[in-house]
Amino acid sequence: MNQNININAKTSLYCVLGNPVSHSLSPVMHNAGFSRTGYNGAYLAFNVDDITSAVTGIRALGIKGASVTIPHKVSVMAYLDKIDDQALKIGAVNTVVNKDGRLSGYNTDCLGAVNALREKTDIKDKEIIMIGAGGAARAIGFGILAEGGKLTILNILEDEGKNLAKDLGVEYYHLSEINRFGCEILINSTPVGMTPDVDNMPVKKDFLKKNMVVMDIVYNPLKTRLLKEAENLGCITVDGVSMFVYQGVAQFEMWTGKKAPVDLMRRVVLDTLGKKHI
């Protein structure tokens, strides 16, 4: 899809900060939105190890907004001037807005995850296992509990898992204990299975059961090995594109004040994934 972006001295710059970001589809999604709405903006991907210096760069260069991804969603909070109440409760920020040099942090992952699940299933009173305890997991966990889901967290890193479980008021177990449990909804909130490690999956195939809802927040590839195996067994699958697009729509509208072209943003993401499909 052609995107006509005219860069000039008045162009507002936006970016994604993370590591890795080489496969991020945020640039194609947001730049398509800017182009469609006639907004004079451009969006780039910055591979960042040092989040302190990156935030200093946002201030110094007048970058108008940023998406924040793995591994900086929690650590970035220390360097912002203001954090939205919901993001504070979640304990993670995935969106930064720069207004006159004052940086505010928000979390749009929560809404993205809930909307993605709602397309396929109810959440209230469902037994839900979430694998992972990073920044995205915090947002998803908050959203699930707000919707009345019954959540258990499984993670490899014990300290990380216990901390999130304590913050959410739920149980934590090591991932190796997963076969002790059953669930109606399984969520992978880790990067396991993301390009280029497309042969990996966070659970063994024998854990998956027919009619289980299986959600993977990885969107590149669109159909991870976890989702392929789940689909083959008759599970209901939720891919990462829906969550990704919904959280991006919220970012776009915060940054620009314009209504996001949701269908276009979803289409360019799916088109780009189709071209990269493995």
Q: What domain range is 200 assigned to?
A: 110-238
Based on the domain organization, do 116 and 37 belong to the same domain? no
Whether residues 118 and 66 fall in one domain: no
Distances (CA, A) of 81 to 51, 92, 99, 104, 108: 15, 14, 11, 6, 18
Tell me, yes or no, whether 56 and 146 share the same domain: no
205, two tokens: 């195939």
For residues 114 and 234, state if they share a domain. yes
- pTM for the whole structure: 0.81
pLDDT for residue 277 is more than 70:
no
166 found inside a domain? yes
My answer on whether 153 and 271 are in the same domain is no
- Whether omega for the bond prior to residue 71 falls within 30 degrees of 0, making it cis, is yes
Q: Are residues 184 and 220 in the same domain?
A: yes
pLDDT of the residue at 1: 47
Verify that 100 and 21 share a domain, yes or no: yes
Q: If you search the block for the tokens 């780009």, which residue do you land on?
A: 272
**pLDDT tens per residue across span 78-112:** 999 999 998 998 988 999 999 999 999 999 999 89
**CATH number of the domain encompassing residue 126:** 3.40.50.720
Residue 2 lies in a domain: no
**pLDDT recorded at residue 65:** 98
Return the CATH number at 55. Answer: 3.40.50.10860
Q: pLDDT tens, 140-186?
A: 999 999 999 999 999 999 999 999 999 999 999 999 999 999 999 99
- Is the domain of 119 the same as that of 93? no
Tally the residues of the chain. 278
The answer to whether residue 75 sits within a structural domain is: yes
Average pLDDT over residues 195-218: 95
The reply to whether 1 falls in a domain is no
Nearest to 96 by CA among 244, 256, 255: 255
Task: Name the token pair of 178.
Answer: 């997963």
- The number of folded domains in the chain is 2
51-57: long-range contacts (C-beta < 8 A, 24 or more apart)? 51/17, 51/75, 51/76, 51/79, 52/79, 54/17, 55/79, 55/80, 55/96, 55/103
- Choose among 220, 153, 156: nearest CA to 191: 220
Do 223 and 255 have their domain in common? no
Q: Is residue 146 part of a domain?
A: yes
Residues 50, 138 within the same domain: no
In terms of domains, do 122 and 232 share one? yes
Q: What is the mean pLDDT of residues 107-127?
A: 93
The answer on 135 and 234 residing in a single domain is yes
Q: What residues are annotated to the active site?
A: 73
Is 7 part of a structural domain of the chain?
A: no
- Residue 6 lies inside a defined structural domain of this protein: no
